[in-house]
Each structure stands twice: as structure tokens, then as C-alpha cells.
A and B are shown apart, each in its own frame.
Chain A
């Protein structure tokens, strides 16, 4: 996709906002990871740590009227799109006060009022759902867009081809964002994925772009182009954001995996390219913020994390006597 690169010209406030949004996801998820390992969380959790720049780069340019569909690794997208951390934490804890009243859990957090169609336990499922939401947005005619976040593993589901085909034909305002984090669950991408994922847009004539998914500014600019393209009625884009899953496929996986599927050196190398650390350095080097500014954000987020956990822990479990066909047939 040949589009002019706009100049980087973010205010100090905007830059600190990006930093805050990424760090908020990081710290909340670190706590979720710790709680999962401590046995305080009933189900599996899949963390977004290392990929925050992608979710924030896109969602910071979306409104509540735009739709996103996410993945089993979906806390980051939920938070980046404006999801409430207390309701998220209570949901993951399986409590009545959770976003889905404990019925969904980590893999199904959703807030339709904010355009968050939800995380999804089925790899690739959000691709078709967002295509339908984008069709709805097109019919509404108000310029809203749909963004599907999915991983490199999901790119190997046939639905991506089906969705690209119909989205190009119908000129749907949709952006397919493949977060290539290097792993398809426990299989390195190179062992399960042929060619470049972004190239899969080419035969359909869809706009496409590869971006450094660990560079917030690069993602933001790429997202701006794709969102503009969609809002203008020019159809879909496929974006491949190259990033890295710093954590395992699922927390506590070391306890049941018999062997390693990646080296410690590789993980260390990517942690050295951490998106949040790099962004902090960039902000300070550019004189847009001081370390004290960042420390203050850190402290504020620590407070939010503590509050969210206290809210979750202090909330009751849903009453089994009240379940049955609740929420099913209204």
C-alpha cells in the first residue's frame, strides 16, 4: 500500500498517554500472571505482554462506535479500547461483578457499549465476526470501522481468505491486524506458516502493510493510514505487525510442558526490544517527559491495579442457584 507517511508530531500529553495506555496493560497483566501462578485465578490466562504497542497504536485512534474483535490473548485489546480494569479483573476472578458476571472469563471479556465485541477462545473467529460488524458499519454509513486483532496462528485459518475476498468485493471498512508474535500456541511460526502473512492480501487486491509491532509510533502511523482508508470507503487492509510474545502461550505452561520450544536467549533478545522500554527511552530522549513524569504514571497505575484486585477479591462469586438459562433465551 503506497501512502505518504505523515510526520511524527505528537504532543507531550499524547506521548504520555500512549505510555500510560501501554504500561497500564503491562502492569495489569503482570498482576494477572502472578495471580494465575499463585492459583488465585480459576482458568487459563494468555498474556499480551510484549505486544502492547499494537493494541494501543490502533485503539487509541478508535471511538466507542468502532468495533474490535479480539483473541484468547485479549486483555490488552479490551483495556486499550477503554475497557474497565475492575470489571476485567473481577471477570477473570470469576466473580459476579465481572464484565460478564463470571460467565465468560479471561477468554471472553467483552463490552459492547465500548465497541469491544470481545476476546475469543477460537483462533481466527474474530475475523469473520468483525467482517460482519464492518458490514453493519457500512450500512449505518457513519464512518465507523471494524478492526480484528488476531495472531499469526489465526492467519492459517481459511477464514482469513474468505474474509479478505468478501471485504474487498464489498469494500468493507475493516482492518485485519495480524499480530505476528512468533508462535502459534507452542509451535514457532516458521514451522507452521509458509511465506509472509501480509502477502496474503495481494491476490485479493487488499491494501496491506508490514509494521514493526514493537514501535508504538510506527504502529500508530500505519493504523492511521489503514483507518483513514477504511473510513473513506476504500475497503479493507491487512496489517502484519511483527512483534514477540514475551510470555508463554498460557501462564504456568512450564509446569506441564515436557520441553522448551524456544531458547532463553531468544526471549532475552526480544525483551531487549521491549516496546514500552523503548518508548520510555524515546520520550525522555526527545525531552517530552522526565523520569519523574513516568514514575508518576507508574504509581498511578499501581494504584489502579491494587484497586482492581481488591474489587475482584472482595466481590462475591455468582450464585449457582441463579444460573440455568440466564442470558441465553431472553
Chain B
């Protein structure tokens, strides 16, 4: 194990896979100089033909990823910000997500669409979307949202070689976060959640950047004797629903923390399937800690007030237990 920053883990995953497999290529906006640092140095190590800067042309870029993957390459398409994927959405929503299905699986389509997502940095409305729920609804693209450097490295390695398109979303502002990363070929299978900590009173499912505040909330709640079973799905497509159901059946209570807007969020989907599958085990209503159905604002106090945080997560858990205690009396 070695301590690494998130962005370093991503960079090493790309570097390692490019070194191992000549079919892995990286292209996108400013990948040579690399705004975030995740693709920095790759051109020098792997050549200008495999690491290519693109014009700011998301429409052709997202489609080029499809064509190059169909023609045999493992394509990492860096679209910089999640919001910019909307500009190139046809090839994501109509082509990448459907080509394998429409053609009865004639080919593999290994594409990783990378982008930074989420709020917290005063990036304002057009650079802060948590757009994973929209991708979840496409049916045909896997979605990875790593919360730790170790998961970022392991998930990205899997994503690059997966025969399906994968959306790899890095939490904005978390690139500098440090964590222990195993040495060697550290790989994490897409679709396997992780139990961040175990507890018996309430299940908290936290997605992407929400894992850290949820962890702190769990630590704080532990001081009050509340045991949180904290689950990080790591990928929302495929979703490790069995692990979530198992936890909910154990605790009887569920809080889902998601940085997406509430309507049709990953949180509302997880809430729905748990209500469907674990209804008899539930001791209390399912709660969602999400973002209101508005764009994220620029001014720090405004933005901070909208995003889930340690206090709002703890509060949701406490109220859930309080209500459950009253009902049980």
C-alpha cells in the first residue's frame, strides 16, 4: 500500500493500462497539458498518436470514441466536465449506449467517457451537474463514481477493458484527496459495492463524493451510539442492489445520499427498489438527502446550503431513528 492522491491514482491507472495494451488510447480536451492532471505526462510516455488533444468539439468527439472503439481500440474520451457531455450527448445516448444492443452484440465497444462532476467549488450551474442519473436511465452505459484513490484506480482499470461504454465520473475538487492504494495490478470489478463501515441501526448509501461526508456523519453518530452501515455502491450501473438489500434487511432503515437533483436521482431509484424488495424489513420511511431541483449557484454560501453535508446527513439519520423510536413506543 502507498498513499496517493486521487488524481495520481487515475493517472497511474491510465499510464499502466496504456503501457500494457497498445490498443488503449486517450483523447479529449486538453489531455496533453491536462487541466486536472489525470492525463498529464501520458503523451510523453505513450506517444502523440495515442494521446491526442481534441478541438472543443464534443459532438464529433463523443462519436469518434464510438467509431474508434468499433474499429478495435480501447478508447478513453476525456470530456473534461460532465456538463460538456450534454453537448456531445447524441453519440453517448443514441450511439454508444445502443450500438451493441441494436446490432445484437456483434462487437465490443470499450469506451471510457471521463469527466469531472458535481458541485462544491463555485463552478456554477454549467460546470457542476451530477449527471449520473441521466446516464443510468440510458440503459447501455456503465457508470462509475469512485470515492477514494484506491477505487478510482481499480474501477478505471476495469472500465478501460470492459466491453461496454463506461462513464467514469470524478468528483470535482476531490482530485487532491489522499488515500491508500494497493500496489500492483489493483482492479475492482464494476458492480461491486463496498461496505465502508458496518453498523446495525441504519443503512446509509452514499454515492461518489458523498461518501466522505457520510463517513464523517457516521463517525459523529457513533458517538451518540448510532451504528451506521455505510455502503458505497462505487458503480450505479451496474448497481450492487443485493448488497444494499442485505444491509437494509439488517438495519431496517435507509438513508440515501446523492449529489444529484432529487427528481429521478440515483437516490430515488435506490429508494424505490428498496421499498419494493425490502418493504417488510423497513422500520421507517426511506429518506433521501439530495439536492433540490434547481441549478447549483455560484456564491459559496448559496451552493453550500444546497449540497448534502455532514450535518444534513446526520440530521436525516437522527430524525429517522427518532421517528422510528416514537412509532415503536
Contacts and interface: CB of A to CB of B under 8 A. Distances in A.
A27 interface: no
Nearest to A65: B71
Contacts of A67: 67, 70-71
A312 interface: no
B102 A330 contact: no
A111 to B, nearest CB: 7
Given A112-B107, A132-B65, A328-B101, A117 B94 contact: no
Contact residues on B (Cβ < 8 Å of other chain), bracket: 35 or more
A74 B279 CA distance: 50
Interface stretch (A96-104, A222-230, A271-279, A296-304): A96-104
Nearest to B96: A129
Interface of B: 25, 49-50, 52, 54-55, 57, 59-73, 75, 90-91, 94-95, 99-108, 139-140, 142, 163-164, 238
B286 to A, nearest CB: 26
Contacts of B61: 128, 162
Contact of B69 (A100, A110, A132, A138): A132
B63 A137 contact: no
A130 B67 contact: yes
B50 A327 contact: no
A317 B60 CA distance: 36
A112 B90 contact: no
A100 B65 contact: no
Given A131-B64, A162-B57, A328-B101, 16 more contacts: A67-B70, A69-B67, A100-B104, A101-B104, A125-B94, A128-B67, A129-B64, A132-B65, A136-B72, A137-B71, A139-B25, A146-B67, A162-B61, A165-B55, A327-B103, A330-B108
Given A166-B55, A327-B104, A136 B95 contact: no
Contacts of B68: 132-133, 135-136
A139 B49 contact: yes
Interface residues of A, number: 46
A155 interface: no
Given A125-B95, A128-B91, A132-B68, A159 B63 contact: yes
Contacts of B71: 67, 132-133, 136-137, 140
Contacts of A112: 70, 103, 106-107
B104 A128 contact: no
Interface in A93-148: 99-101, 103-104, 108, 110-113, 117-118, 120-122, 125, 127-140, 146
A135 B61 CA distance: 11
Nearest to A102: B104
A101 B100 CA distance: 12
A121 B105 CA distance: 18
B100 A128 contact: no
A131 B104 contact: no
A104 B104 contact: yes
Across the A-B interface, give the 6 residue pairs with the lowest CB-CB distance, nearest first: A128-B63, A132-B67, A132-B64, A136-B71, A327-B105, A162-B60
Contacts of A159: 59-60, 63
Contacts of A328: 100-101, 139-140, 164
Given A139-B25, A139-B50, A108 B95 contact: no
A267 B7 CA distance: 61
A154 interface: no
A261 interface: no
A133 B72 CA distance: 9
21 contacts: A104-B104, A122-B90, A127-B60, A127-B63, A129-B91, A129-B95, A131-B64, A132-B68, A132-B69, A135-B67, A136-B67, A136-B68, A139-B49, A140-B71, A140-B72, A158-B59, A165-B57, A166-B64, A326-B105, A327-B103, A329-B142
A229 to B, nearest CB: 20
A134 B57 contact: no
Contacts of B69: 132
Contact of A117 (B57, B70, B163): B70
A169 interface: yes
Contact of B106 (A111, A127, A169): A111
A163 interface: yes
A219 B66 CA distance: 29
B63 A329 contact: no
A28 B100 CA distance: 26
A100 B105 CA distance: 8
Nearest to B52: A170
A103 B66 contact: no
Given A129-B70, A139-B50, A328-B140, A166 B60 contact: yes
A162 B101 CA distance: 27
